[in-house]
Amino acid sequence: MKRIGMLTSGGDCQALNAAMRGVAKTLFNCLEEVEIYGFLDGYRGLIYGNFKMLNSRDFSGILTKGGTILGSSRTPFKTIQDPDENGIDRVEAMKHNYYKLKLDCMVILGGNGTHKTANLLREEGLNIITLPKTIDNDLYGTDMTFGFQSAVNIATEAIDCIHTTAASHGRVFIIEVMGHKVGWLTLNAGIAGGADIILIPEIPYDINKVVESIQRRNKAGSRFTILAVAEGAISKEDAALSKKEYKEKLKNNPYPSVSYEIAAAIQEKAGQEVRVTVPGHTQRGGSPCAYDRVFASRLGSEAAKLIMDDDYGYMVGIKNREIIKVPLAEVAGKLKMVAPDATIVQEAKMLGISFGD
């Protein structure tokens, strides 16, 4: 008998259900006896013992379903070792519920913060397997995270739709793409959508360079310019500030996001009409694309194999198109950033795309 716990933590994204299905279907198919306990609303479910037993029928028909059948929540790593409002030691509570149910393993699906907590539980002696979920594609140790390609498709479609209205009205359009700390999503969607300017957190922009790029297009006869801007894009001036100074600036910033600040600067310096479009959470919603369905299913199946082999303490990822296992200790707390000199950035620049630098 194998007793498996499962939870999804952090922001939702496409293919969470597909990944859980991959784990469950493999276990049910390969083992005679298995029990799966689904903890509700992320780590909160494990802390407070809120779970439900799941059978094979619960995983039927969810391959194409977005979101997560278990619900999710954010439980910040920086406070996970602090007592809750009732004085409950959250780490000890998670360990208690794990041992109370006599679990052989916890399967945890999540992003960067989720992996920090998962690694902490591993260090506390729990058997842990994780799966890399995030539309940001910023998890260290894997070439790809599930949810990313689906989000790229949605952000690209938003840029595609803006192209026609931008061309019709001869305007500058900014599409704000998700990504606070890394720019993989904006970079890929920007290239796929034919953006003229791409601004990402890893390459601080000079607003004068951005305006110059727009004016060059105007002189060349282009009636419009498309900017794909990551929500974490930062100017060279702001990048030079200390963390404390930058946080203080954001508190007093009259603009709802960086895209509106950039739009105001372009209008002032170039005298052009600018519109901002924010696809927002649509990028995390809807059905997973075909790539993510296959990818998440493969990850889930490999996670189940590790469980059957009693091989714990790993994140299941992908390298060079092959599914691999990566020690959790090597993953937790590390971000996979876009290198400013990465080949994909160099290639984008050769295509004529400006990064405002």
What domains can you pick out in the chain, each with its CATH number?
A: 2-147+288-331 (3.40.50.450), 151-284 (3.40.50.460)
Give the sign of the dihedral formed by CA 54, CA 56, CA 61, CA 67: positive
Q: What is the mean pLDDT of residues 236-263?
A: 87
78 token code pair: 């920086």
Report whether 162 contacts 175 (CB < 8 A). Answer: yes
Count CB-CB contacts under 10 A for residue 129. 27
pLDDT at 245: 81
According to DSSP, the residues that pair with 325 across neighbouring strands are 316
| Predicted confidence (pLDDT) per residue in 270-283, tens digit | 888 899 999 999 99
Residue 167 has pLDDT above 90, yes or no: no
For the cut 90, the answer to whether the pLDDT of residue 207 exceeds it is yes
45: left (phi over 0), alpha (psi -120 to 50) or beta: alpha
Give 340-354 pLDDT, tens digit per residue: 999 999 999 999 999
State what percent of residues in the chain have pLDDT above 70. 100
In contact, 26 and 65? CB cutoff 8 Å:
no
| Helix extents (H) in the chain | 16-30, 43-48, 90-100, 112-123, 148-169, 184-192, 207-219, 236-239, 243-251, 258-270, 290-308, 328-331, 343-350
Closest to 219 (Cα-Cα) out of 270, 262, 174: 270
Q: Which helix (H) or strand (E) holds 130?
A: strand 128-132
75-84, 123-132, 192-201, 316-325: segment of lowest average pLDDT: 75-84
Distance of CA 342 to CAs 145, 202, 206, 210, 347, Å?
Answer: 19, 11, 20, 20, 9
Q: Which pLDDT score is estimated for 272? A: 85
Question: For residue 170, what pLDDT is reported?
Answer: 79
CA distance 96 to 238: 45
Query: How far is it, in rounded angstroms, from Cα 126 to Cα 23?
Result: 19
Whether residue 309 is predicted with pLDDT greater than 90 in this model: the reply is yes
Looking at residue 356, what is its pLDDT?
94
What amino acid positions are annotated as catalytic residues? 136
Predicted pLDDT at 182: 96
pLDDT attached to residue 279: 94
**What are the pLDDT digits (tens) for 87-143?**
999 999 999 999 999 999 999 999 999 999 999 999 999 999 999 999 999 999 999
pTM reported for the whole predicted model = 0.94
Residue 288 pLDDT: 97
Contact of 316 with 302, CB cutoff 8 Å: yes
For 220-237, write each residue's pLDDT tens digit. Answer: 888 899 999 999 999 999
Which residue, chain included where needed, has tokens 């876009």? 338
d(CA 74, CA 77): 9
Phi, psi of 150 (to 5 degrees): -65, -40
pLDDT reading at 17 higher than 90: yes
| Pairwise CA distance, residues 158 & 166, whole Å | 12
Is residue 101 within 8 Å of residue 37, measured between CB atoms?
yes
| Burial 183-198, CB ≥16 within 10 A → b, else e | bbbbbbbbbbbebbbb
Does the structure show a pLDDT above 90 at 243?
Answer: no
For residues 29 and 216, give the distance between their C-alpha atoms in angstroms, rounded to a whole number. Answer: 60
In whole angstroms, what is the distance from residue 170 CA to residue 221 CA? 11
Residue 239, pLDDT > 90, answer no
Alpha-carbon gap, residue 30 to 47, rounded angstroms:
30
Which tops the pLDDT comparison, 78 or 304? 304
Is residue 37 scored above 90 in pLDDT? Answer: yes
Read off the DSSP letter of residue 82: S
Q: Which two tokens stand for residue 110?
A: 């999540």
